[in-house]
Structure 1
């Protein structure tokens, strides 16, 4: 199944939507590099679509997301009267096609490699995570998707109202969730379960010395499989995830205690204070002491 993976926040956001009717013999127009995502949800009938070399039969109860960087068009006229909702949305965050590839796919919209990340002002900052939305899916509850699309279009009438715009974004996020949930029902997800199990174990045992081999033995999965699952669903291998957990816990202790840096390093699982300082500085752009001086209150 072809998936689109978005790094959030920021969340993909709704722009505009409407309805379209096609008579027998009519087809979807041809467009190239439109710069925004297009979502088609067919209420009745069937749309025959192509996105470059991929073809889709989008029939009643199905949804198709058209990428902003590719050419798409109708491949043939409708065999029967067809109606659909169309929605345009975009994201200012990064996204990628994630078709179950072992390697990390190239991202769109990320900052240039090597650019330093500004240190977080608060240790409780919301950290980016990833959502996966199917490019093509048959909705498990199409009546809910149809109702949500109808609400989005109806709210267009109050587009200048701040509350209406807020409502639209809330409705749109629920629509994306419906698409994602429908895909999850259609495919087995042992990889997701493995990734979540590994992440939970690492969060619970971050103070302990751990290797990828030991993690595999404790979870009864091959270390390579765990690494692939975590890379797919968390965007990093297990040991990097463990390092992030340790750094986050260290930030809490730096802000809310007056314990020496060496003791904090030991408490979060580092054997050497110098190595902890090096990892922390690389992750946050500040040494532990400077982090505490800048952000701790007391």
Structure 2
């Protein structure tokens, strides 16, 4: 089972530099320690023998490997034949982590402790971009074509429009890599959490009980709660509260409804309880939130 690299986005990982290297028989990957950037290797022809710390990989055509910026990389054997491989250096300005196991692309519902609160509903919502550290590409030719287009643009990368084109192509590279995870058997835990989240979003205006959610999904409420805690970092009730508050923020900005009506529109029976929950999550009352964005 491959390691999964998880990037908290936005910001998205960004392209730095890339190329196509041609190794002769006997050549090997350089030994490097903590280079500070991610190094994506994709083999087009031959075989490359690369190690990262205690792990060793034999990269054959159509295989991709992401070397971490904080690890020791080395070639543990010379190439046995002529070997062509793409290399792409990239980095992220956001947080990232590595863990062993299956990945999922579920949205992050709870901000990290100490992170700034969103000022309004149009701020970017953080999510997880997950990439396999080692993978077999389902359509190598498509990946090769993307990388060839990126490399061809390197010569004029000093132009703003070219840099924009390169970044757009690089995001397609990441999408193809992420797609190899989705083609693997999906985690039952992730599937349960996603079904629960979808149900809560569709019925957020209604009174939803744990038993009702369990009957709809045909899972025990305790199991559903564990799945959502693992995938979203919160219980079903907290997920529902947060989603209701996000809908309330939209109504505060787009309508002149009273606070009491907004509370009712998003599923709260008591305006006072709505106001207390809103203040807890946003750091200011619904009225203060609305006034902050009113035109003077």
Aligning the two structures, in what range does the TM-score lie when normalised by the shorter sequence? Answer: 0.7 to 0.9
How far the C-alpha of 1:114 sits from its partner, in A, is: 4.6
1:29–1:227 distance in 2 versus 1, CA, 3 Å: farther
- Determine helix, strand or coil for the equivalent of 2:41: strand
How far the C-alpha of 1:29 sits from its partner, in A, is: 0.9
The match for 1:117 is: 116
In 1, the alpha carbon distance for the partners of 2:236 and 2:27 equals 51
Is residue 102–residue 181 contact of structure 2 (8 Å, CA) maintained in 1? no
How far the C-alpha of 1:279 sits from its partner, in A, is: 2.2
CA RMSD of aligned residues (A): 2.5
Query: Which of 160, 163, 166 is 1:165 aligned to?
Result: 163
In 1, the alpha carbon distance for the partners of 2:267 and 2:146 equals 47
Alignment deviations for residues 10-63 of structure 1 (CA, whole Å, 9 cap, x no partner) = 111101011222222221111111111110001011112221122222111000
How far the C-alpha of 1:187 sits from its partner, in A, is: 3.1
The match for 2:248 is: 250
How far the C-alpha of 1:98 sits from its partner, in A, is: 3.9
Alignment deviations for residues 234-260 of structure 1 (CA, whole Å, 9 cap, x no partner) = 454433322221011111222233333
The match for 1:129 is: 127
Number of residue pairs aligned between Structure 1 and Structure 2: 288
Alignment deviations for residues 51-80 of structure 1 (CA, whole Å, 9 cap, x no partner) = 112222211100001111211212212222
Is residue 254–residue 296 contact of structure 1 (8 Å, CA) maintained in 2? no
How far the C-alpha of 1:168 sits from its partner, in A, is: 0.4
Q: State the TM-score, normalizing by the size of structure 1.
A: 0.87
In 1, the alpha carbon distance for the partners of 2:76 and 2:226 equals 37
In 1, the alpha carbon distance for the partners of 2:225 and 2:54 equals 32
How far the C-alpha of 1:195 sits from its partner, in A, is: 3.2
Is residue 6–residue 131 contact of structure 1 (8 Å, CA) maintained in 2? yes
The match for 2:183 is: 185
In 2, the alpha carbon distance for the partners of 1:285 and 1:119 equals 10
1:8-87 aligned at under 5 Å gives the runs 8-87=9-88
Is residue 40–residue 63 contact of structure 1 (8 Å, CA) maintained in 2? yes
- Determine helix, strand or coil for the equivalent of 2:71: coil
How far the C-alpha of 1:261 sits from its partner, in A, is: 2.0
- Determine helix, strand or coil for the equivalent of 2:33: coil
The answer to which of 83-92 and 223-232 deviates more is 223-232
In 2, the alpha carbon distance for the partners of 1:76 and 1:231 equals 44
In 2, the alpha carbon distance for the partners of 1:190 and 1:19 equals 39
In 2, the alpha carbon distance for the partners of 1:171 and 1:101 equals 26
In 2, the alpha carbon distance for the partners of 1:288 and 1:40 equals 50
How far the C-alpha of 1:263 sits from its partner, in A, is: 3.2
The answer to which of 183-192 and 171-180 deviates more is 183-192
Is residue 117–residue 284 contact of structure 1 (8 Å, CA) maintained in 2? no
